[in-house]
Structures are given as structure tokens and as C-alpha cells.
Amino acid sequence: MMIRKTVPLLLLAGALLAFAQKSQAQTNLLPVSFNAICTSSNSTGLLQEVVRGNNLIDDCAVEHGLSNIDHLKLVFNTTNFTVQVVDTNGVALCTSLVFPGGLTFTNSPTNSMQIASNATQIVFQRDVLFETNLTASGVISGFASWKGTNMSSFKLNSTLLFTEPAAGTNSPEICRAILTVGGGHEGDNDGDEHHGPGNQGDNGKHLGPQNPHNPHGH
């Protein structure tokens, strides 16, 4: 599946954007965990695919014709509220997920708890643009928090409900995903520890690229 090439975006809530602008260079790119289960159907019945963060990295590598992907990683960009694949220099090669529009609520600056802990909290529900899709195909809902300009304290927990276009003889996919940043979950991807064709790191659930039903196969 082709992946959206990265483009400049100004999509983040004002509070989070102000926080990122105060941080040092590259500290706005944080390791992220992405785990999705997508269901489609064809003449044989229902089909299920597990999509991990590593699969998004693989898709980006194919898009750029890269065979060595050890230097690539999946990150959450707090500046523009996107999930990106970056190289070791923090340069974005692909933007896998974009979350524009929607609503974002921020705790009041006069909140006594915020003054005491110097913490900011946001609750959000935003649209989902997956890979090359230019039209929103779902929603992401969740919350995030951080303390002052301390990026290491940033945490985000969210649930995504979205669809993917039909692939081959398969119907469109209905996907449910969990996306987290911080809290010790980033980059774990539920044991999916290696990339490449026929990945079996998903306890037998992931349909490898050899399987024509897998829209993430190449």
C-alpha cells in the first residue's frame, strides 16, 4: 500500500503546539505504539488482518525502495499530531496517519491541579486520514498529558475506528486500533519484533505479503 508523503501540516491544538515549540529540536518526535485489527470480506467469507507499527514502516520502505530498514522508526509528531516514519536524523520519510479537525479540550490554566503539578491535559476527538487517503475515513478519540516543557513526561492514549479502501477482490476494511505514546508502551507492538515479508510476529494472525488478501503486502 502506498503511503502519504510527508507534507507541512498545522493540525494540532493550540496548547500542544505551544508546548512543542518550547521544546528542543527533535524532542517533538516520540516513539509510538500502533496496533490494529482490520476486518474485510470476499467470496470466501470474513478476513482478518493485524496491522502493527512495523507494518507501517515496511510500507514506507517499499514506497521509497529501501531494502535496509534498520535505521527507520515509527514516531508520534507532537507538533502536527501525526504518526510518521523517520530516519536516524529525524527526517520524515512518510506520514502514516494524520489527525485533522475535530475537537480538542484543554484544562483551564486556572485549574488548581494544573498550577500545583505544572501539568497540561487535553481530551480530543479528531478525524483519521490513513496513509494515502485524502478523505477522513474514521475518528481517533483519546487524551494526552504533559508537565511544563518536559517532553519525557508526555503521554497519549487513544482508540481509532477507521476504514481502508477495497483491495483486489476484497471489500473495504473496518479497522479498530490502539495508539499510545509514553507510559512504557511505545514501540512494543505486541511482540512484533522484526520486519519483512511473511512476518509471523503476530501469533499467526497477520496475513503476510504472500497472501493476496493482505492490503499491506507487496
Q: Residue 52: what pLDDT?
A: 96
Angle (CA) 212 40 215, round 5°: 35
What pLDDT score does 205 carry? 36
List of residues 6+ apart from 156 with CB closer than 8 A: 76, 142, 143, 144, 179, 180, 181, 182
CA angle 71, 212, 160 (to 5 degrees): 60
Give pLDDT, residue 215.
52
- What pLDDT shows up at residue 79? 87
SS3 at position 115 = helix
- What letter represents residue 97's amino acid? L
Q: What is the pLDDT of residue 6?
A: 44
Query: pTM surpassing 0.85?
Result: no
pLDDT at 9: 39
Starting from the edge strand earliest in sequence, which strands make up the sheet with 82-86, in order? 29-31, 73-77, 82-86, 92-98, 129-130
d(CA 33, CA 188): 6
**Which residues is 86 bridged to in the sheet?**
73, 92
Pick from 67, 77, 80: which is nearest to 26 by CA? Answer: 77
Q: Which contiguous run of DSSP H or E holds residue 20?
A: helix 14-22
What would the grid cell of residue 178 be?
490502539
C-beta of residue 56 within 8 angstroms of C-beta of residue 96: yes
Residue numbers in the chain where pLDDT is lower than 50: 1-25, 112, 114-115, 189-214, 218
How confident is the model over 27-44, as pLDDT tens digits?
789 999 999 999 999 989
